[in-house]
Structure 1
Amino acid sequence: MKRNILLSVFSGLLLWIAWPPTHYTTFLLLVGFVPMLLALENIIHSNYTKKGKKIFGTAFLGFFIWNTLSIFWVYNALKMVGEVVALPISLIPYSLGPLLMATACWLYYRLRLVTNRGFSLFGLVCFWIAYEYLHQSWDLAFPWMTLGNGFATTHQWVQWYEYTGVYGGTVWIWILNILLFLIYAGLKETANKKLRLKLISAFVIALLLPLSFSLYRYYSYQEQPNPSNIVIAQPNIDPYAKETSISTLQQVSILTRISDSLGQHNTEFFLWPETAIPEAVNEETVRNNPYYQQAQHFLSKYKNGNIITGAETFKIYNNRATSTASPYGDGGGQYYDAFNAAMNIENSAEVQFYHKSKLVPGAESLPFGNALSFLKPAFEHLGGATGSYGSQPEPGVFYSQSGIGITPAICYESIWGEWIAKSVKKGSQFIAIITNDGWWEDTPGKDQHLDYAKLRAIETRRWVCRSANTGISAFINQRGDIVQQTKWWVKTAIKQDINLNSDITFYVQYGDYIAKAGSLLALIGIGFIVVKRFI
């Protein structure tokens, strides 16, 4: 048993070493699951009782190590609620992913009991894909550790994400790991040489074919000239001071000043970060808001200028119009929704809003709100501090007065490939990410978040313009290259002529079809296990 534990730990460490933001060890993803598969194989062929529990426990150990070491920075973001509760709460994201991963391995074992190894390994890939798709779709969504994200620092290897999205990367990693596992297992099991040669040949083809295509696509890809001048502002305001020691007026003044330092007569967009306007703005009376007027005054010198900015906004209703609405004022029958929003401000009376939809579970939304609706009065009594944000059901697109379409993505919404793709399909020509990664401090979290944005550029073949309050802000081209980026914790601005694109990629057209197909096959596999169990 100790040997299997060591194999599991080794697998977890390999996957962690391979994970972004590292640049030179990504190749370990292609072998990182082999020790885990060997440990599971040892248990399957052992004389242990309760093998299912040992399979689950062994898998959970390795995946917990991988996840915790890769996203340890989550603890920093939770310190705002108090260090005493930060650690136990952070155990949820540290553990939930590994629990689902271990469940996929347990289902592989159950399938192995009723069919052969080859079919079961195919089932394992489907179970894993189903876990990843569930973990981006349910109320506790946190798809940060989706396997395909692992190539974010070696984006030259996965230019074919424009056809598959990140789930293509998940499948590629599993195919190569399974082939290596079978080659090694064949050596131990004295398999015939012909089979071993076929497996080696399959591994070489599975490795080189996607890699060669990707490198060819990367070096041959040409953007079509269609320039637009963009300025990104990075105000570098301590997130803990945004709503306390620095007034909103001062914050907007900082943003206009650094934006103006690089603005030119043909600048079309100024990009400001998430909650750049931290004082609540009533959407119905926004044109009377002093900060909106301050922003419009700044734009008066830029004829075609637009400001895309984050803001705290709210809407008032005469009834409980949404499930997230809370009583307003003295309880006179009015309700309101608060939003983590993006605004598009232009040189006209037109104002556009986008309400963040992929809300952080617990901090911005109440998971399983319908099932836990009985808790709503308690949260209202506490001021709606948890799960109080409203959202919108579909991705948004901003349109400038000149007709340019923009995808607004707020914070970690940018790790949902299909969500971004839906916006692009509606007419977006570039992606604007606004975020505040300062909560995570100077940890790999901010670097991973930046790196993942490169994958959105490849999937959609759109430039990504990223404004982060404290860094790292960046321009990313249609191949996923970071053309410019800022330093961390620096007040600055950067500008770039980007190329707008209106072409639709295969992935934008069809979205996460691999994930949906894999999940369907996983359900069929589970049904097969259940039927065999009772026959």
Structure 2
Amino acid sequence: MGKRILCLLLSVALFSIPWLGGTSLTLFVAFVPLLWIQSDVAAKTGRKGKPLRFWPYAVATFTLWWLATVWWVGFAAVIGVVAATVTGTVLMSGAFLIYHAVWRRAKRALAYTVLVSGWIAYEYLFLNGEISFPWLVLGNGFSMDVKLVQWYEYTGALGGSLWVLVVNLLVFEAWKRRREPVRWIAPAVALLLPAVVSLIMYATYEEPSERTKITVVQPNIDPYHEKFVLKQSEQNELLIGLMDQAPQDADLIVAPETAIDEYFWEEYLERTPSMLLFHDFIRQRKPGTMVVTGANTYVPYDSEETASPTARERGGQWYDVFNTALGLDSTEAIKIHHKGKLVIGAEMLPYYSVIRKWKFLFVDLGGLSGQIGYGKVREVFTAPGGVRAGPAICYEAVYGEYFTEFVRNGAQVMCVISNDGWWRDTPGHRYLFAYSRLRAVENRRSIARSANTGISGFIDQRGDVLQKLGWDQRGALTDSLSLNDRMTFYTRYGDVIGRVSSYVFVLGLLYFMAYRFRRKSHIVD
């Protein structure tokens, strides 16, 4: 019992290290202690001859892993930590316990196939379902070690998950026969070959020669004590002061998510005082520049019949609230992108279209749920000089396949705007920035990131950080980034590994059921 507990804690530590600032290499053996527990439990029986239960070990391992790596969400909402941990643990444990059931009753090859495909299918589901917080996708663990995963331009982060799972299984099999040196050849090749290929890709990759000059600003306004106390006019003055540090030949100036903390009706947007102020600044001081900034906007509807499923009602008026990125230049036209990947709880309620039918139970369902509108199109902004930039908003940069839609729509460079101050100086804001490094590799697009506070900066097409402003710093940075019109395999086709794994998992379970039926019917030995 004590040995199994130690292995459980070891597995938790090995899983957690890559999300706490350590090396990603621990992932390649993180499953091994848990696999040993699983085989040990299956091989032994309790005092009364009954099989020992494995599920408590799996549940405890994944619960502790989630708690160790997402505790920082509690600074914004404790319920967020609970919800993420419960949901993630259920899905991870489900995938592992299905493997355990197959392992006990079928051939090892089938069990391992079910484990690998089932785990990746769970990650794919978590990336695309309405209940979604894919923080602990295994492939995300390489966000600090991008030199090892340059082939993400073909596979995306799920390719990293596949790599981790396969190496763990090979290491476990080798460890069981650890006195036979030949057994270690397969895991060594599986670990080193992709790493060497990636290092060669990293060393030989050349960015296109066409470049753009971009400035990012970080106002460093505390979201708890200043953001909603300072008048918007004071915040606008601060933003303009930082933007004025941009050189005259900058194509883009990027400001954070909801940097303009006002709510605008989009049909009157260009006539609002804040927009007039920023337009005047651009015309007088930066006429060849586009400002990309965040705001909140309203879109009205004529009636309940024409309103979207997420619309709210007040005084007989139906409308949607959007978390919006705006593109402002010297013309009166304002480019608009609505955030499409929303934060559960703060911005959306899962299965809202179903829950909305029970709205008579609530005084104000819209206000209660925090539900805002979804953007349906990944808009691309074109600066006066012709540079095409995708304006991803915060959480949108966590989703690899979703992020590719900006590039498929023509983005030559990506901007990510965020407000990371809600989570204070924790791993939260550091890994939100680091995940953008993976998106840069997947799409071979340079990224300019502006956060309200920590971390703002620039990432090149190999995922390297060029410059950055850290936590609790105010300032502006300017850099020259390479543009790219080429689309990678991953940009074109997305999470092929996730889709294939889902099919393989279903087929594997069907095969297992057929196999069990044949065994029970004595059709096979």
Question: What is the SS of the residue equivalent to 1:215?
Answer: helix
Q: Which one of the candidate residues 78, 82, 87 is aligned to 1:96?
A: 87
Distance 1:534 1:340 in 2: 53
- Map of 1:217 onto structure 2: 201
Q: How does 1:330-341 map to 2 (within 5 A)?
A: 330-331=315-316, 334-341=317-324
Q: How does 1:281-296 map to 2 (within 5 A)?
A: 281-296=264-279
Question: What is the SS of the residue equivalent to 1:485?
Answer: strand
Deviations 1:155-210 (A, max 9, x none): 111111111110110011111111110011234xx8xx5xx62x422112111111
- Map of 2:150 onto structure 1: 159
**Distance change (3 Å), C-alpha of 1:380 and 1:417:** farther
State the Cα distance separating 1:225 from its structure 2 match: 1.4
**1:478 maps to 2:461:** yes
Deviations 1:338-393 (A, max 9, x none): 01111111111221111111111121111111332234345552662423200123
Question: What is the SS of the residue equivalent to 1:280?
Answer: strand
TM-score, length of structure 1 as denominator length: 0.92
Amino acid at match of 2:32: V
State the Cα distance separating 1:42 from its structure 2 match: 1.0
Q: Which one of the candidate residues 14, 35, 52 is aligned to 1:37?
A: 35
Q: How does 1:16-415 map to 2 (within 5 A)?
A: 16-17=16-17, 19-23=18-22, 25-48=23-46, 54-78=53-77, 86=78, 88-187=79-178, 197=182, 199-241=183-225, 244-261=228-245, 263-300=246-283, 301-320=285-304, 321-328=307-314, 330-331=315-316, 334-378=317-361, 381=364, 384-415=367-398
- Map of 1:422 onto structure 2: 405
Deviations 1:49-80 (A, max 9, x none): 775x83322111111111211111011121xx
**1:11 maps to 2:11:** yes
Question: What is the SS of the residue equivalent to 2:354?
Answer: coil
CA contact (8 A) 1:21 1:451 kept: no
**Distance change (3 Å), C-alpha of 1:140 and 1:131:** same
**Distance change (3 Å), C-alpha of 1:527 and 1:396:** farther
Question: What is the SS of the residue equivalent to 2:486?
Answer: coil
State the Cα distance separating 1:244 from its structure 2 match: 2.8
CA contact (8 A) 2:420 2:453 kept: yes
State the Cα distance separating 1:120 from its structure 2 match: 0.7
**Aligned sequence identity (%):** 35
Distance 1:436 1:21 in 2: 21
CA contact (8 A) 2:67 2:81 kept: no
Distance 2:359 2:3 in 1: 49
State the Cα distance separating 1:220 from its structure 2 match: 1.4
State the Cα distance separating 1:135 from its structure 2 match: 0.9
Distance 1:368 1:112 in 2: 35
CA contact (8 A) 1:20 1:451 kept: no
State the Cα distance separating 1:137 from its structure 2 match: 1.2
State the Cα distance separating 1:527 from its structure 2 match: 2.9
CA contact (8 A) 2:339 2:393 kept: yes
**1:469 maps to 2:448:** no
CA contact (8 A) 2:266 2:297 kept: yes
CA contact (8 A) 1:407 1:420 kept: no
Question: What is the SS of the residue equivalent to 1:54?
Answer: coil
Distance 2:177 2:301 in 1: 67
- Map of 2:425 onto structure 1: 442
Distance 1:427 1:367 in 2: 30
Structure 2 gaps of 5+ residues are 519-525
Question: What is the SS of the residue equivalent to 2:336?
Answer: strand
Question: What is the SS of the residue equivalent to 1:311?
Answer: strand
CA contact (8 A) 2:174 2:187 kept: no
Question: What is the SS of the residue equivalent to 1:496?
Answer: strand
Distance 2:218 2:361 in 1: 38
Question: What is the SS of the residue equivalent to 1:361?
Answer: coil
Distance 1:22 1:240 in 2: 26
RMSD between superposed Cα atoms in Å: 1.8
Question: What is the SS of the residue equivalent to 2:324?
Answer: strand
Amino acid at match of 2:72: W
Question: What is the SS of the residue equivalent to 2:128?
Answer: coil
Amino acid at match of 1:454: R
Question: What is the SS of the residue equivalent to 2:269?
Answer: helix
Question: What is the SS of the residue equivalent to 1:527?
Answer: helix
Deviations 1:261-285 (A, max 9, x none): 2x22211111000000111011111
CA contact (8 A) 1:474 1:485 kept: yes
CA contact (8 A) 1:57 1:102 kept: no
State the Cα distance separating 1:533 from its structure 2 match: 5.5
**Distance change (3 Å), C-alpha of 1:54 and 1:396:** farther
State the Cα distance separating 1:238 from its structure 2 match: 1.1
**Distance change (3 Å), C-alpha of 1:383 and 1:183:** closer
**Distance change (3 Å), C-alpha of 1:149 and 1:401:** same
- Map of 1:526 onto structure 2: 509
Deviations 1:266-305 (A, max 9, x none): 1111100000011101111101111111111111122221
Distance 1:176 1:258 in 2: 48
Pick which of 338-347 and 401-410 moved more: 401-410
TM-score, length of structure 2 as denominator length: 0.94
CA contact (8 A) 1:476 1:482 kept: yes
- Map of 1:82 onto structure 2: none
Amino acid at match of 1:54: R
State the Cα distance separating 1:119 from its structure 2 match: 1.9
Amino acid at match of 1:403: G
State the Cα distance separating 1:110 from its structure 2 match: 2.0
Distance 2:506 2:190 in 1: 27
Structure 1 gaps of 5+ residues are 79-85
Question: What is the SS of the residue equivalent to 2:391?
Answer: strand
- Map of 2:476 onto structure 1: 493
Question: What is the SS of the residue equivalent to 1:295?
Answer: helix
Question: What is the SS of the residue equivalent to 1:483?
Answer: strand
CA contact (8 A) 2:379 2:391 kept: yes
Amino acid at match of 2:12: G
CA contact (8 A) 2:325 2:391 kept: yes
**Distance change (3 Å), C-alpha of 1:242 and 1:341:** farther
Amino acid at match of 1:444: P
Distance 2:366 2:96 in 1: 42
Number of corresponding residues: 513
Pick which of 238-247 and 211-220 moved more: 238-247
Deviations 1:75-113 (A, max 9, x none): 1121xxxxxxx2x55211122212211111111022224
